[in-house]
Amino acid sequence: MAIIRAKTPLRISFAGGGTDVPPYPERYGGCVLNATIDNFAWGSLRPRGDGRIRIEPADLDLEVEFKANEEVRLDGKLDLAKAAVKRLRALDSLGFEIFLHCDAPPGSGLGSSSALVVTLVGLVLEFKGSASEPYALAKLAYSIEREDLKISGGLQDQYAAAFGGFNFMEFDKDRVIVNPLRIRRATLNELEHNLLLCYTGTTRRSDHIIDDQTSRLISNEGDTLNGLQQQKELAVSMKNALLTGKLTNFGDLLHSAWFAKKRMSDRISSPVIDELYEEARKAGAIGGKITGAGGGGYMMFYCEFEKKHKVAARLRAMGTIPTEFAFEEDGLQTWRTNDSRLT
């Protein structure tokens, strides 16, 4: 009996985040510059023949089990997984068990929840013998999160997870366009050398921040609208800096993107985050920002390589966890392997 495996990369967003959150794309059109990294949401699906479905995440002391032919109750217990099973009509099967693990916790700012949903979609589609291309995968994952579960958020995370790589994404009322970027290998290597991720030690619920941003946009709050417009302009400028290999300019633009992002909602930063940013700059960081909606999770810094270790040391002394990473070119990957218990 074959087991189905899947892995989906997490992402970092450089600029444009927030312009992918309705109603901004419908009104003004949004764009985001992001890239996937070598942190993943992992999944495994083992078929079973007793007509039951079991879901177990490695990162939570919780599991659920129910009959494959019964109505799924979305009751707050592993609803992401249950909603994926329900949406993909996997309830008419002979049953299966799903095991999940993610390299970053929910609320990390790395798109981990959406990556997990894309992993679930990939597992169940492979189990059912259905193929799906990245646009359809991302749209399915978006529908599960934003429509079925009513979780506030944007569009970029699902598309980054499905496509992988460095992308410039465009959003409007009726479509999403993912533009893969052909960045020179030397530029990517230098960017990896000079970027640093830093876990602040706390996670956050992004929907509260996103809801605040959305309400400000709907009420035509000037700072929010201007901050989002700046995010769009910076996403274009940063894309051009990457394509032309002007990485010092990229770092300066990342600094500008952080201040533009903070204009979108006063919940995005905090005194602790502001202090981390200021100290990183004093130690040699050129620019940086929160990687997701804000309030906690991971921060990202661009440094001159010779000063990167000083920035990391200062951040570590402040109680955070700096870490290096590499870029990941591929999006969702699925494969099959033999059940070791039967060999």
pLDDT digits over 257-300, tens only?
Answer: 998 888 887 788 888 899 999 999 999 999 999 887 777 889 99
| 107 compared with 311, residue with greater pLDDT | 311
CB 332 within 8 A of CB 137: yes
**Model confidence at 237: pLDDT above 90:** yes
Q: What is the dihedral of CA 70, 71, 76, 77, to 10 degrees?
A: 10
| 245 compared with 94, residue with greater pLDDT | 245
Structural domain boundaries in the chain: 2-181, 185-323
**pLDDT tens digits along 308-336:** 999 999 999 999 999 999 999 999 999 99
pLDDT-based confidence at 1, cuts 50/70/90? Answer: low
DSSP lists the bridge partners of residue 170 as 31, 177
119-133, 189-203, 255-269, 273-287: which has the minimum mean pLDDT?
255-269
Q: How far is CA 337 from the centre of its chain?
A: 27
CA-nearest of 296, 288, 14, 44 to 160 is 14
CA distances from 165 to 105, 109, 323, 331 (A): 21, 17, 20, 7
Q: Which helix (H) or strand (E) is 35 found in, with range? A: strand 30-47
pLDDT-based confidence at 342, cuts 50/70/90? Answer: low
Q: What is the dihedral of CA 271, 275, 277, 279, to 10 degrees?
A: 180
What pLDDT score does 72 carry? 84
Alpha helix ranges (H) inside the chain: 24-28, 79-87, 112-127, 134-142, 156-163, 185-194, 206-218, 222-243, 247-262, 271-283, 305-317
For 185-323, CATH number? 3.30.70.890
What pLDDT score does 225 carry? 85
Helix axes 206-218, 222-243, angle to 10 degrees: 110
**Between 3.40.630.10, 3.50.50.60, 3.30.230.10, 2.60.120.280, what CATH number should domain 2-181 receive?**
3.30.230.10
CA distances from 191 to 31, 154, 163, 210, 246 (A): 21, 26, 20, 29, 10
**Model confidence at 192: pLDDT above 60:** yes
R_g (Cα) of the chain, nearest Å = 20
What pLDDT score does 214 carry? 78
pLDDT-based confidence at 90, cuts 50/70/90? Answer: low
Would you call the peptide bond into 47 cis, given omega within 30 degrees of 0 as the criterion? no
The sign of the CA dihedral 26, 31, 36, 37 is negative
Q: How many residues does the chain have?
A: 343
For residue 75, count other CB atoms closer than 10 A to its CB: 9
**pLDDT tens digits along 59-68:** 888 899 988 8
CB 215 within 8 A of CB 333: no
Q: Which amino acid is at 260?
A: A
**Model confidence at 206: pLDDT above 70:** no
Catalytic machinery residues: 157
For residue 28, count other CB atoms closer than 10 A to its CB: 15
pTM for the whole structure:
0.92
Q: What are the structure tokens assigned to 284, written together?
A: 């040699």
Question: Which phi and psi angles does 111 have, rounded to 5°?
Answer: 70, 30
The sign of the CA dihedral 241, 246, 252, 254 is positive
What pLDDT score does 230 carry? 92
Mapped onto helix, strand or coil, the DSSP state of residue 134 is: helix
**pLDDT tens digits along 159-184:** 999 999 999 999 998 899 999 999 99
